[in-house]
Structure 1
């Protein structure tokens, strides 16, 4: 890994927003999921939460590498997904048209928040809408009544990014040190990280330049069954 590559990975992690995330409620098209993941990464979201469609995914596809940078926690029901983010102190904002929906620009997204986006056909489910703290909408000035889920998410997330930029929330590292170190290793040495995960091994030590300290010695420890273990 070149120093330039290392510095780019570090800069990306330094801008991650651990108190902002995205919840997808049964989004089933691969191209929309891919777009949502890419947009999440673009605004500094490091993990999203996906509720599986009850009828299964309509199309299988790829996120074109974006999923390498964004973790996706998958749930079978919206209650579990929403409870997970609320347990971390996040307010849940559902992109959902209702009597209590407010303009998406009127809320403070510098506070811990999760954006709930609904499925392509039905939008946010009634169950998920009931669990959300607020309903938000994007004012529509034309004939169409709604936007594609990935487009709507992009508009809302860019507003959140702008608020956080103005508040200086991208100016210093906000993720925990252990998350930073583990993620940087996984990004910098993806094959080695995968091997460690598969075999329950601690990542090998690195120096301040993020270079492996003694790869030959570590591999010898692995061969002898003496390498430090870790429950992933």
Structure 2
């Protein structure tokens, strides 16, 4: 182990609350602030896996906005949409997409205690047809004002905290969803990454002082 025992215990405590079967897919959210805020909220509610498709050219993660939370979730860019979503279905995930249509349901009518992949879409066009065809349910957040929708990062937060509420009521956060082996592997990776970044920071400081 490359970090202090105290640091390792803190990371392990985080991993014990992580919900490996509550996942998020960002379908081409292009605004850096929005994507980074989604990432921060994912960490806050214990989401471990954040997947995304991004069609832009600039860096999508802003570390000033994530406030370090990007280090504590596993984020992966997806190229093959069909293979990814088929794999999630094979793993037993229900795919829930935010989308306004005649057959959309209230977001609170979903049972988020089941293995769930929440899909959120682009700021202008929403979830793409390519992704939407895999949705088991389409959900909406009721709006009672002039605006027809929430900012995508806000909407993601509303949905994730409903999922957190349901899972807390069932006591799911009280028992690790990760196996001991999974936690150990993630702990080793995060501990190593933590040390490398710390050493790089120390090296940069020494270079500046020279």
TM above 0.5, one fold?
A: yes
* 1:93 has 2:96 as partner: yes
Render the CA deviation track for 1:65-105: whole Å, top value 9, x for unaligned. 32211111211253333223222210000010011100000
Within 1, Cα distance between the matches of 2:147 and 2:9? 44
Tell me the residue number matched to 1:160. Answer: 163
Task: Classify the secondary structure of the residue corresponding to 2:162.
Answer: helix
The correspondence of residues 39-50 of structure 1 with structure 2, limited to 5 A, is 39-50=41-52
Tell me the residue number matched to 1:118. Answer: 121
Tell me the residue number matched to 2:12. Answer: 10
Task: Classify the secondary structure of the residue corresponding to 1:124.
Answer: coil
8 Å contact kept, 2:25–2:51: yes
Could you tell which deviates more after superposition, 185-194 or 135-144?
Answer: 185-194
Which has the larger helix fraction? 2
Residue of structure 1 aligned with 2:40, choices 38, 41, 44: 38
Task: Classify the secondary structure of the residue corresponding to 1:144.
Answer: coil
Structure 1, unaligned stretches of length 5 or more? 195-232
Shift of 1:48: 1.1
Within 2, Cα distance between the matches of 1:95 and 1:24? 11
Higher Rg of the two aligned structures: 1
8 Å contact kept, 1:52–1:77: no
Structure 2, unaligned stretches of length 5 or more? 198-210
Could you list the structure 1 runs, at least 4 aligned residues long, displaced by more than 6 angstroms after superposition: none
8 Å contact kept, 1:29–1:60: yes
Task: Classify the secondary structure of the residue corresponding to 1:49.
Answer: strand
Q: How many correspondences in the alignment?
A: 192
8 Å contact kept, 1:25–1:50: yes
Within 2, Cα distance between the matches of 1:164 and 1:60? 30
Render the CA deviation track for 1:97-153: whole Å, top value 9, x for unaligned. 011100000111100000000001110112222220000000001000011111000
Within 1, Cα distance between the matches of 2:60 and 2:27? 17
Within 2, Cα distance between the matches of 1:57 and 1:139? 33
Residue of structure 2 aligned with 1:184, choices 181, 187, 192: 187
Task: Classify the secondary structure of the residue corresponding to 1:147.
Answer: coil
Q: CA RMSD in A?
A: 1.9
8 Å contact kept, 2:98–2:127: yes
